[in-house]
Amino acid sequence: MPEASVAARTVILTVDDDPGVSRAVARDLRRRYGGEHRVVRAESGDAALEALRELKLRGEQVAVLLADYRMPQMNGIEFLEQALDIFPGARRVLLTAYADTDAAIDAINVVDLDHYLLKPWDPPEEKLYPVLDELLDTWRHTDHRAVPTTKVVGHRWSARCSEVREFLARNQVPYRWYSSDEPEGRRLLEAADTDALRLPLVITPDGTALIEPGDQDLAARVGLATTPTAEFYDLIVIGGGPAGLGAAVYGASEGLRTVLVERSATGGQAGQSSRIENYLGFPDGVSGSQLTDRARRQAAKFGAEILTAREVTGLEINGAAKAVRFSDGHAIAAHSVLLATGVSYRQLDAPGVADLTGRGVYYGSALTEAASCQGHDVYVVGGANSAGQAAMYLSRGAKSVTVLVRGGPLAASMSHYLVQQVEDAPNITVRTGTVVESAHGADHLEQLTLRDTTTGHTELVDTHWLFVFIGAAPLTDWLDGTVLRDPRGFIVAGPDLSADGAPPPEWELDRAPYHLETNVPGVFVAGDARSESAKRVASAVGEGAMAVMLVHRYLEQS
């Protein structure tokens, strides 16, 4: 980055309780340094500290602090001591009278003072500028510059803090994590005027501090769209997994006014996969987040709207129009709707697990938490592809990974290529016929009780990490009474609507339902939420594209 552009973001702060002196110091500083640095002045220590906290939140950098020694309530040394906690890298200068030189010398040890200047400092070309030039040069070469990014301060074992990190990661929002008990985390909490009891704290790149934010507020503040731009569309896609993203790409590219609504983050379960190796066109594999990011950008390029952190709670049929209602009461409508809601991980039903979720027990969070598992013993529950992919990813840094499978060999439910990788990994152990009997821990997971399903023998193991991948359940309860579902909650469509393939009794049109069309004309389903679907990324994308073709056919005949 060019030095001038970096310097333009740095601040020189001066504080003096005498307004005349304060203005004079700021005037001389601006005359020499105003072209490359922003000069901020304050007339009390409290006001200067408040300004520093605001600068900290906005991600700006302070290069030099120039403080007058004799100020009421808070003298210059006391100010610099507190300012050191906010910007430890800033160079520190004390402005003193001749009678205060002893105090200035003492301050060298108290606040690691870089220099003290005697009043008057005229002419500045001889007494002020040479000192500041040297300090600025030292600051530049020390490199305390920060790249503006979203910052998250939280507790390591807080469930909500874990959810926020997962939300940002899955939505491709870069962030930096700070523990609330480390120095930088404490500085940010102080700058935001909050404490460790109200977490997480999220600081956006523009310096806005969000204390315990909800997903929708968080999404809006980090640049994700949450509000539709219109009230009526050609196609509303509900769900941002592979099927939904595929439909959004094909719908928008073919001229349909398309909006995709996602309650959490685009990508679905596939977006949480560390590596997908059997997807067409990627012989070396591709991570779920990479595939999701490309699909999302592709949909946006064609003009599809993508709304994040909007939960759909109802579908209303008003003649030819279909209204989709959100949890906040607002609604949008369209000629057609595609249900691509996907599935969610089933919860592990064992004592202690629910209380420790997000605090050592995780569902589909392997990518976010992997860095914290370095050198630890990790347990993975599940025997399908998602569990195998997580085990392989976690094994890169973990001391050991133990895969717990309720049933028999992995080959019964896991792809052959993945079984071979798991078996070849030196630090992965597979224990079949084994379940988690219970989880134990105070504020975070500390131990698991495992049970052998054949012998009934139990074993207590020490671990802080349990990742659960035990199948999935459809997110379709909100459709009850509107769209036909099978006994497990998956949406029934096309010829599956009746045993003989004929239209269902309530069907009002002369034609039979299209292949992916539900019992409601103009409402389609694609991907994992469809009854008897293949549960594979490629098939979900294909169904999303096919659904758009059927939407066109439906619109032409309506």
Spatial distance between the Cα atoms of 366 and 369, rounded to a whole number of angstroms:
5
Q: Quick one: pLDDT at residue 140? A: 84
Asked if 21 contacts 117 with a C-beta cutoff of 8 angstroms, the reply is no
Side chain identity, residue 362: Y
**In the numeric block, which tokens belong to residue 467?**
């990742």
**Residues above pLDDT 90, as percent of the chain:** 66
Asked if pLDDT for residue 179 goes beyond 60, the answer is yes
**In the numeric block, which tokens belong to residue 318?**
């008003």
**Mean pLDDT value of segment 299-324:** 96
According to CATH, the topology of domain 150-221 is Glutaredoxin (3.40.30)
In terms of pLDDT, which residue wins out, 110 or 57?
A: 57
Q: Quick one: pLDDT at residue 59? A: 80
pLDDT tens per residue, range 14-35: 999 999 999 999 999 999 999 8
Q: Quick one: pLDDT at residue 360? A: 96
Residue partners of 141: CB distance under 8 A and separation at least 6: none
Spatial distance between the Cα atoms of 239 and 343, rounded to a whole number of angstroms:
10
Count of CB atoms situated within 10 Å of the CB of 499 = 7
Domain residue limits, the chain:
3-142, 150-221, 232-344+473-557, 354-470
Q: Quick one: pLDDT at residue 143? A: 58
pLDDT tens per residue, range 328-385: 999 999 999 999 999 988 999 999 999 999 999 999 877 788 888 989 999 999 999 9
- Name the strands in the sheet holding 447-452, side by side, starting at the edge strand that comes first in the sequence: 434-440, 447-452, 458-462
Q: By CB neighbour count within 10 A (0-12 exposed, 13-18 middle, 19+ buried), where does 517 fall? A: buried
Asked if pLDDT for residue 7 goes beyond 80, the answer is no
Asked if pLDDT for residue 144 goes beyond 70, the answer is no
**Mean pLDDT value of segment 54-73:** 89
Spatial distance between the Cα atoms of 519 and 503, rounded to a whole number of angstroms:
8
- The whole-angstrom distance between residue 204's C-alpha and the CA centroid of its chain comes to 12
| One fold for 150-221 and 232-344+473-557 | no
pLDDT tens per residue, range 183-218: 899 989 998 988 888 999 999 988 899 999 999 999
According to CATH, the topology of domain 232-344+473-557 is FAD/NAD(P)-binding domain (3.50.50)
pLDDT tens per residue, range 223-277: 999 999 999 999 999 999 999 999 999 999 999 999 999 999 998 888 888 788 8
> How many residues appear in the chain?
558
According to CATH, the topology of domain 3-142 is Rossmann fold (3.40.50)
Asked if 458 contacts 442 with a C-beta cutoff of 8 angstroms, the reply is no
Q: Quick one: pLDDT at residue 162? A: 92
Confidence class for position 8, pLDDT limits 50, 70, 90: very low
Asked if pLDDT for residue 172 goes beyond 90, the answer is no
**Mean pLDDT value of segment 517-525:** 97
Spatial distance between the Cα atoms of 26 and 51, rounded to a whole number of angstroms:
15
Architecture of domain 354-470 in this structure? 3-Layer(bba) Sandwich (3.50)
Q: Quick one: pLDDT at residue 108? A: 63
Asked if 381 contacts 466 with a C-beta cutoff of 8 angstroms, the reply is yes
**3-state DSSP assignment of residue 437:** strand
Asked if pLDDT for residue 128 goes beyond 60, the answer is yes
Q: Quick one: pLDDT at residue 112? A: 72
**In the numeric block, which tokens belong to residue 377?**
């013993």
Asked if 12 contacts 33 with a C-beta cutoff of 8 angstroms, the reply is yes
Asked if 385 contacts 392 with a C-beta cutoff of 8 angstroms, the reply is no
Nearest to 29 by CA among 8, 44, 48, 14: 14
Spatial distance between the Cα atoms of 22 and 119, rounded to a whole number of angstroms:
13
